[in-house]
Amino acid sequence: MSATAPRKKVVVFDYGFGNVRSAERALAHVGADVEITRDFDTAMNADGLLVPGVGAFSACMQGLREARGDWIVGRRLSGGRPVMGICVGMQILFAKGIEHGVETEGLDEWPGTVGPLKAPIVPHMGWNTVKAPEDTELFAGLDADTRYYFVHSYAVHDWTLEVGNANIRAPKVTWATHGEPFVAAVENGALWATQFHPEKSGDAGAQLLTNWIGTL
């Protein structure tokens, strides 16, 4: 981003279930004009909307709906306005989540179910590599052995969305492994998301957020 380029306005959506201050600092560090808010108009009109998320899938969905975040995400995406989800903020973009036998509807932007990780050690907490597609924009400039910071006990294990129209670009899906493969990130038009925390991933996370801001 050049010194004369206008700063991109990014809203970190504050619905009560995310590390909003960490996200704010990370985005500001890479040159965004950041505001933490749940104000409807501000979230709708920002260049980019970041949806964080920590805790239980069901609680995040309840908080998001109470803040009209589900409607904001849907309206922004219908107009091609960029949205990025992080951690549970990514998980709630899928059709449903199952925790302790309780099934909760997600935003259903992508088909798929968030379920427990099957691994010797859970939660998956710490640094891990990912396998990104060759044409990735999200991971541009980052090496294959770069590590990112994860904290989660649930994940999406199967990617089931099929694009039947040759004129529509298929989503770019990035994978990681902890006990079993799981979806680590998705790039799908105006909607991007990561299971890991870019705001806690040091220089690698800063590069990733820079890549996202560069598309706004």
Do β-strands 124-129 and 147-152 pair in parallel, antiparallel, or remain unpaired?
antiparallel
Known active-site residue 103: no
Burial level of 158, CB count in 10 A (0-12/13-18/19+)?
A: exposed
Catalytic residue among 60, 87, 109, 187: 87
CA 92-193-125 angle, 5° bins: 80
**Which residues contact residue 116 at a Cβ distance below 8 angstroms, ignoring those fewer than 6 apart?**
98, 99, 122, 153, 154
Question: 21: which DSSP letter?
Answer: H
Catalytic residue among 124, 152, 178, 197: 197
Known active-site residue 60: no
Question: 131: which DSSP letter?
Answer: B
C-alpha to C-alpha distance for 180 and 147, rounded to whole angstroms: 17
CA count, 13 A, side-chain hemisphere, 13: 34
81 neighbors 138 (Cβ within 8 angstroms):
no
Buried/exposed 192-211: b ≥16 CB within 10 Å, e otherwise: bbbbbbbbbbeebbbbbbbb
Catalytic residue IDs: 87, 197, 199
